[in-house]
């Protein structure tokens, strides 16, 4: 699938990895619509890169359905969905104040895992109506996992579980959607310089970067975007999770 022919929605597109992906797609000539809860930031960024914006809650079926329909109304069709919306939580299974808060655990799974599945299933339904290209493709879905899915650290039970779920979705969803020509991939990023991480301060970020095998730095969101673009253009990539982490293995 050539990027100039892409009509994409990017969830969590107002900041971080989602914003970098949306910018990269737009610069490559794709049509892009951002989906995000932050309407002010989302509209401003969409105007900056020449994209559309729709406020959407990934955990709500009605909200996502309406957002996808608005995106299609603007772009003419939907061929790519990239799921970057998510939250990070840090809490031990049993801490000084008692067991892990169950509501926070459920919320992390609801947004990161169920939200991604919600967008993917509804996007796939709309992609199935597209005419197939020369490779038989009608669409591509890219989900965001994390190396925490495989190397989760202390305090990451909820986050790691949600991202492991994303990793586990890749193959069965790809098999489910093969009959309609929709590919499914996941990217498992390591430690990337995003607004969420920048809030920790330079000293902590430098310490995290020191653990990366090579290159010894945090990931650049533009590198995540570059991989997402490559996935879209390589029709033989399907049903797989790609680690993007500088060979980092979390201790």
Catalytic sites, residue numbers: 159
Cα separations in angstroms, 129 against 37, 125, 181: 27, 7, 10
215 cis-preceded (ω within 30 degrees of 0): yes
d(CA 116, CA 170): 11
Report how far Cα 48 is from the mean position of its chain's Cα atoms: 21
d(CA 13, CA 35): 6
93, 115, 125, 14: CA torsion to nearest 10: -140
Secondary structure (DSSP) of 47-78:
HHHT-EEEE--TT-HHHHHHHHHHHHHHHS--
- Interhelix angle for 157-177 vs 102-109, to 10°? 30
d(CA 228, CA 224): 6
Core vs surface per residue 119-155: b (16+ CB within 10 A) or e: bbebbbebbeebeeeeeebbbbbbbbbbbbbbbbeee
Instruction: Choose among 51, 68, 61, 64: nearest CA to 13.
Output: 51
Tokens of 77: 């069709």
């Amino acid at each position: 699938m050539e990027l100039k022919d892409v009509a994409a929605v990017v969830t969590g597109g107002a900041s971080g990895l989602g914003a970098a992906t949306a910018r990269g797609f737009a610069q490559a000539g794709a049509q892009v619509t951002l989906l995000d809860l932050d309407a002010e930031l989302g509209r401003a960024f969409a105007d900056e890169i020449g994209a559309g914006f729709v406020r959407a809650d990934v955990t709500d079926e009605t909200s996502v359905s309406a957002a996808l329909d608005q995106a299609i109304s603007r772009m003419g069709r939907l061929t790519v969905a990239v799921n970057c919306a998510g939250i990070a939580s840090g809490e031990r299974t049993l801490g000084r104040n008692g067991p892990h808060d169950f509501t926070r655990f459920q919320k992390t799974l609801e947004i990161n895992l169920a939200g991604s599945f919600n967008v993917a299933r509804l996007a796939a339904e709309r992609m199935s109506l597209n005419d197939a290209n020369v490779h038989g493709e009608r669409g591509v879905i890219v989900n965001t996992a994390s190396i925490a899915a495989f190397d989760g650290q202390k305090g990451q039970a909820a986050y790691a579980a949600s991202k492991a779920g994303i990793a586990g979705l890749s193959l069965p969803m790809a098999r489910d959607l093969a009959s309609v020509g929709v590919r499914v991939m996941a990217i498992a990023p390591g430690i990337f310089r995003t607004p969420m991480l920048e809030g920790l301060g330079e000293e902590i970020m430098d310490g995290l970067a020191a653990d990366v095998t090579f290159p010894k730095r945090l990931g650049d969101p533009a590198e995540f975007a570059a991989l997402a673009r490559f996935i879209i253009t390589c029709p033989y990539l399907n049903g797989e999770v790609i680690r993007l982490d500088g060979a980092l293995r979390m201790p």
